[in-house]
């Protein structure tokens, strides 16, 4: 039986792929085995029956709604289950990967009048994002980033004796375009406003809802943008209601008269609600809204019940003008921003505020009658910033008073971050390759008003090598 089973197995494996036309070869092989005395007549008959059964043709199942076809095969086929709905997305057609790595040397030179301070750091920024398009008018995405978790920076310093660094969820969002003139975005997403670094650091991402209404013509574009920006959840047991949030409204206009010339105008209202729900508990913690503001040029003041008195209802105006082919085929642009906090009331802070550790409202008397409620930025740039060989040079000057806008949201590099500053920023960008960029940024800044906090002059140099992928 062992010899018989081995021969059967060998024939099935060896001849299983043969067609019916190969039966003659099988018969000859069995005849040779019988003549050699390996098989007797009874075994040959049994083996021939087994091989013929394995070679029996099958009829393939016809596809629905198609003409039935009979396919001859020698290999028995498994029945394939009915196809189910596929939820996966084809990579390359509906999924986009993107990211960048920036290596930086960052040098700060600070003079406070009584002391001088020099700091040099090696730093990096890593960002990696994925965006999928499940349907023609929806998008879902997320982005991871390096850093310490602060909303206004994704920089990570080379320190800690090479210990591991953290990665944070920088963005996570979904968008829906029910029509070609309306979009809604939910989650933690990029800033939708026409704005500048005077007001918003480019690393700050909105969290909440954004609605965009847009009309585009051949020569002009009109856009209306609204945001409901959720700032904090307050676990309050005292009966006060409402979490801090920001409602934003912007109307913008873009004119394109032709020849590459363009003009952008935008007017924005920022309405911060329920900010009095915040308490002085985090005043010494830079990672807290209260603490960062108070440590970076914007004193936080509280009433006798420990409720925040600072308010922000800011109006921002932006303008950008660009002309193509001005100097050696290079584009030339001009830009400006103005912001004013219409709710800033320094007298209220001084008269209703109560001294808490880290904040004494009496310090604000040093400002006299100045409300410290506004800021502006203006500058120019020339050149492209897109592909190999492109060179762009940019310069701007800015002034930002203490209470114009929450300090935690403005540029974290200018004057070390925060408000109460003025000075110059210049940058040069050169593309070595289409996706490899050299960048140099230079700051020459100081406190806008030294009456309360004293002198703080800061110059800063940032040298970057950026890889995009």
Same domain, 36 and 116: no
Residue-by-residue DSSP string for 301-347: -B-TTS-B----EEEEEEEEEEEEEEETTEEEEEEEEEEEETT--HH
Vertex 432: Cα angle to 431 and 434 (nearest 5) = 65
Residue numbers of the domain that contains 7:
1-80
With respect to residue 289, please indicate whether it lies within any of the assigned structural domains.
Answer: yes
CA 399 to chain centre: 28
**What's the rounded Cα separation, in Å, for the pair 258 and 276?**
49
Same domain, 268 and 303: yes
DSSP state of 300: -
The count of domains in the chain is 2
Same domain, 375 and 416: yes
With respect to residue 17, please indicate whether it lies within any of the assigned structural domains.
Answer: yes
**What's the rounded Cα separation, in Å, for the pair 43 and 354?**
107
Contact indicator for 377, 414 with CB cutoff of 8 Å:
no
Same domain, 225 and 326: yes
Tens place of pLDDT for every residue, the chain, 469 residues? 444 444 443 444 444 444 444 556 667 766 766 776 666 777 777 667 665 655 554 444 434 443 333 333 333 333 334 444 443 445 666 899 999 999 999 999 999 999 999 999 999 999 999 999 999 999 999 999 999 999 999 999 999 999 999 999 999 999 999 999 999 999 999 999 999 999 999 999 999 999 999 999 989 999 999 999 999 998 766 666 689 999 999 999 999 998 889 999 999 999 999 999 999 988 999 999 999 999 999 999 999 999 999 999 999 999 999 998 888 789 999 999 999 999 999 999 999 999 999 999 999 999 999 999 999 999 999 999 889 999 999 999 999 999 999 999 999 999 999 999 999 999 999 999 999 999 999 999 999 999 999 999 999 999 999 999 9
Same domain, 76 and 220: no
With respect to residue 429, please indicate whether it lies within any of the assigned structural domains.
Answer: yes
With respect to residue 143, please indicate whether it lies within any of the assigned structural domains.
Answer: no
Contact indicator for 181, 215 with CB cutoff of 8 Å:
yes
Same domain, 70 and 217: no
With respect to residue 182, please indicate whether it lies within any of the assigned structural domains.
Answer: no
Vertex 122: Cα angle to 117 and 128 (nearest 5) = 135
Measured between alpha carbons, how far is residue 79 from residues 54, 59, 83, 228 in Å?
17, 12, 12, 54
With respect to residue 201, please indicate whether it lies within any of the assigned structural domains.
Answer: no
Same domain, 232 and 304: yes
Same domain, 117 and 22: no
What is the Cα Rg of the chain in Å?
A: 35
With respect to residue 63, please indicate whether it lies within any of the assigned structural domains.
Answer: yes
pTM of the full structure? 0.79
**HSE of 224 in the Cβ direction (CA atoms, 13 Å)?**
4
Same domain, 255 and 352: yes
Same domain, 221 and 315: yes
Same domain, 38 and 111: no
With respect to residue 33, please indicate whether it lies within any of the assigned structural domains.
Answer: yes
CATH number of the domain within which 239 lies: 2.40.160
CA 456 to chain centre: 33
Q: Which residues pair with 130 in a beta bridge?
A: 97, 142
Same domain, 341 and 284: yes
């Amino acid at each position: 039986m062992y010899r018989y089973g081995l021969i059967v197995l060998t024939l099935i494996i060896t001849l299983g792929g043969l067609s019916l036309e190969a039966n003659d070869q099988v018969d000859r092989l069995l005849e040779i085995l019988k003549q050699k005395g390996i098989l007797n007549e009874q075994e040959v008959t049994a083996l021939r029956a087994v091989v013929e059964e394995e070679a029996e043709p099958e009829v393939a199942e016809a596809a629905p709604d198609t003409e039935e076809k009979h396919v001859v095969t020698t290999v028995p086929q498994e029945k394939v289950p009915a196809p189910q709905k596929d939820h996966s997305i084809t990579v390359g057609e509906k999924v986009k990967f993107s990211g960048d790595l920036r290596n930086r040397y960052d040098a700060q030179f600070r003079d406070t009048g009584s002391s001088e301070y020099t700091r040099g750091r090696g730093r990096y920024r890593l960002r990696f994002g994925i965006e999928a398009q499940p349907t023609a008018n929806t998008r879902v995405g997320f982005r991871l980033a390096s850093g310490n978790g602060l909303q206004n920076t994704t920089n990570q310093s080379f320190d800690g004796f090479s210990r591991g660094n953290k990665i944070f969820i920088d963005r996570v969002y979904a968008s829906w375009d029910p029509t070609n003139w309306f979009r809604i975005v939910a989650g933690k997403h990029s800033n939708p406003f026409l704005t500048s670094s005077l007001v918003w650091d480019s690393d700050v991402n909105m969290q909440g809802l954004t609605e965009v209404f847009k009309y585009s013509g051949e020569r002009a574009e009109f856009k209306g943008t609204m945001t409901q920006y959720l700032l904090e959840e307050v676990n309050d047991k005292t009966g006060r209601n409402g979490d801090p949030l920001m409602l934003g409204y912007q109307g913008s206009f873009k004119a394109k008269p032709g020849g590459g010339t363009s003009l952008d105008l935008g007017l924005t209202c920022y309405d911060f609600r329920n900010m009095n729900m915040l308490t002085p508990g985090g005043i010494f913690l830079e990672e807290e809204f209260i603490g960062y503001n108070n440590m970076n040029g914007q004193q936080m003041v509280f009433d006798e019940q420990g409720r925040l008195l600072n308010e922000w209802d800011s109006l921002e105006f932006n303008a950008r003008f660009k002309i193509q082919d001005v100097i050696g085929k290079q584009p030339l642009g001009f830009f400006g921003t103005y912001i004013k906090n219409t709710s800033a009331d320094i007298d209220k802070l001084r008269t209703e505020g109560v001294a808490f550790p880290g904040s004494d409202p009496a310090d604000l008397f040093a400002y006299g009658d100045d409300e410290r409620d506004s800021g502006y930025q203006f500058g120019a740039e020339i050149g492209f910033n897109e592909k190999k060989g492109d060179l762009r040079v940019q310069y701007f000057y800015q002034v930002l008073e203490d209470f114009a806008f929450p300090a935690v949201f403005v540029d974290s590099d200018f004057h070390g971050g925060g408000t109460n500053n003025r000075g110059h920023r210049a940058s040069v960008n050169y593309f070595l390759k289409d996706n490899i960029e050299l960048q140099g940024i230079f700051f020459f800044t100081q406190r806008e008003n030294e009456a309360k906090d004293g002198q703080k002059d800061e110059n800063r140099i940032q040298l970057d090598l950026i890889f995009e992928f």
